[in-house]
Amino acid sequence: MVKVGNVEIKGDVTLSPMAGISDSPYRRIARRYGSAFSYTEFVSTEQILLGNQKSIDMFRFKEIERPISFQIFGSDLNTVVEAAKRIEPLGPDIIDLNMGCSVSKVSHHGSGAGLLRNLPLAGQMIEGIRKSVSVPVTAKIRLGWDEENLNYKESVHILQESGVSAISVHGRTKSMAYTGKADWESIGDIKSFAKVPIFGNGDVASYGEAKEKIRKYKVDLVLIGRKAIGNPWIFSERDKSSVSFAEIKKVVIEHLLTMLDFYPSDDDYGLILFRKHFAKYVEGTNFPKDLKSQMLQTNSLNMFLQLFSNYEQTETNTKLETIELNDSLNCETYLVDV
């Protein structure tokens, strides 16, 4: 069990926050399969103060998702603090400040990983939020802006002095984005001197790998991002290769219907949003490429369900192929308008 302030987290492997991925429908499925707690997608503090309903709706959640952390980002101290005060009545258990997003239109404007170049401001934000809300405040960081500016020790020191309750660390620099390999040795270094819980993140491809990272680097919890897309079984100690296609099919339909309910519209908007999930659910199986292409192109819910329901996988095509980590799937790919 991990304690973040007064919040108890039962478990040590969880779904990483990802724009366009970690919405309420998928968080519910991940939690049911064993994800320890929930992060929302990150939301612009400017849009919160403008009353942008689309942005505020990103904080919607169901009780099954608790404990839940609302993740926000911004570059202006007063805006960030006021936004945190605005969203507290929506019921978060934790509020998390994103200091790790590497996408240029966020980081180059001083938000996300941009705060790694203005640590005094980041510290003021954490302190300001902490003094303005009654829930614990956490932060997610990277190791630094680039290899010449690995300032994670200073980052952790300032955040701790500002009253942060836990820190998530992505083992890359801003300039690396999602290329190269995550530096878990540096994450372990952070854990060796940190006074608050440390969550590690980067290149974890299975539950077993997550537990090994915890054992080797002593982190309190591991976040799994890209490898959890289309694979909630990763949180239940099951390898996707052992999951029957019938079960995959059942979860796909459940996930789709939940998204349609969560994103009501006259044009089956939930189906369009679901496509990226579907592509990952069937990735690694021998699902026919032409059928997959047809399903990804249709805007008709009835057609999508008909095509999928009519397909029956046989014993000769159920084996999953070994696949490499798809570096194209990251927060930059699915970044919402900010």
> Which residues are the active-site residues?
101
CB 2 within 8 A of CB 220: yes
User: Is 277 strand, coil or helix?
Assistant: helix
Strand partners, 95: 70, 137
**Cα 202 to Cα 209: distance, rounded to the nearest angstrom:** 11
Q: Which residues contact 248 (CB under 8 A, 6 or more apart)?
A: 281, 282, 285
* Distance between CA atoms of residues 92 and 62, nearest Å: 11
284 alpha-carbon distance from chain centroid: 22
Residue 310: other Cβ atoms inside 10 A: 8
The number of beta carbons lying within 10 Å of the beta carbon of residue 263 is: 18
170 with 202: CB under 8 angstroms? yes
Are 210 and 149 in contact by the 8 Å Cβ rule? The answer is no
C-beta of residue 291 within 8 angstroms of C-beta of residue 282: no
Residue bearing tokens 């192109």: 297
- Residue showing tokens 């969560």: 262
